[in-house]
């Protein structure tokens, strides 16, 4: 009888693990930042298990951008109107969206100018409608991005993009890290979008929040978690 009980417990644990695989979690919300001006730190990243961790967000105080790829932390900040690399230790985030992914399915996809449509179409083919992390690897024609840099003396902390560094990257090798969800607007996607995307340029370790992207006509690798 004890053997059957043990097997039952193991099956329940496996079912729970399967249910939670690739679950998207978050600390903080865009809504609280934009509408309440709450830019305080919500999580210290060093307290999280880094193995298989993928995530993105904004530093406490809205003073920079954070991206994680398999536990590797990338931080970009703004100093004297210039984008610089920030410390990757003792990182505290006002907003952090993340998921643990052990294995990815990789498919080759043609580019275009509508990243959200590309992601949603591929998820629909998989009959996957849950919030999902994804990555795109390749050389986009164009990426418009920003790095937040809110003035701590600002009385309008709801304007989280005030003081941001903005720039455009063209035809450089990048990894786009993002999260797709059709029910997270105001939580971790903006009110007019179902995706939240950062980029990492591994050659320079630069990261930033993607405002607009045109992939172009090339071929790209799309990574979506294995079911």
Residue 162 pLDDT grade (very low, low, confident, very high; cuts 50, 70, 90) = confident
* 20 compared with 148, residue with greater pLDDT: 148
Average pLDDT over residues 75-91: 96
Average pLDDT over residues 207-214: 97
Domain ranges of the chain: 22-225
Share of the chain above pLDDT 90, in %: 78
Cross-strand bridge partners of residue 58: 65, 95
Distances (CA, A) of 9 to 17, 22, 116, 149: 12, 22, 40, 49
CB–CB of 43/29 below 8 Å? no
* 84 compared with 21, residue with greater pLDDT: 84
Rounded-to-integer distance, Cα 33 and Cα 135, Å: 26
Angle at CA of residue 172, ends 144 and 198, nearest 5°: 45
Tell me the average pLDDT of the chain.
Answer: 89
With respect to CATH, is domain 22-225 assigned 3.30.1330.80?
A: yes
- pTM of the entire predicted model: 0.88
Cross-strand bridge partners of residue 179: 133, 196
């Amino acid at each position: 009888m004890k053997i059957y009980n043990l097997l039952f417990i193991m099956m329940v644990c496996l079912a729970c693990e399967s249910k939670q695989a690739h679950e998207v979690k978050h600390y903080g919300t865009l809504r609280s930042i934009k509408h309440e001006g709450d830019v305080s730190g919500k999580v210290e990243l060093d307290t999280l298990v880094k193995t298989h961790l993928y995530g993105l967000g904004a530093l406490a105080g809205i003073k920079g951008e954070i991206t994680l790829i398999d536990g590797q932390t990338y931080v970009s900040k703004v100093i004297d109107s210039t984008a610089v690399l920030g410390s990757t230790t003792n990182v505290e985030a006002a907003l952090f969206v993340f998921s643990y992914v052990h294995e990815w399915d990789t498919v080759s996809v043609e580019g275009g100018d509508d990243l959200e449509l590309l992601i949603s179409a591929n998820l629909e083919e998989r009959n996957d409608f849950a919030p999902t992390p994804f990555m795109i690897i390749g050389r986009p024609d164009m990426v418009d991005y920003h790095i937040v840099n809110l003035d701590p003396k600002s009385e309008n902390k709801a304007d989280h993009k005030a003081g941001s560094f903005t720039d455009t990257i063209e035809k450089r090798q990048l990894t786009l890290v993002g999260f797709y969800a059709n029910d997270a607007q105001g939580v971790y996607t903006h009110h007019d979008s179902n995706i939240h995307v950062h980029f990492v340029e591994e050659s320079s370790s630069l990261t930033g929040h993607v405002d607009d992207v045109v992939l172009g006509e090339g071929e790209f690798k799309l990574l979506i978690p294995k079911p």
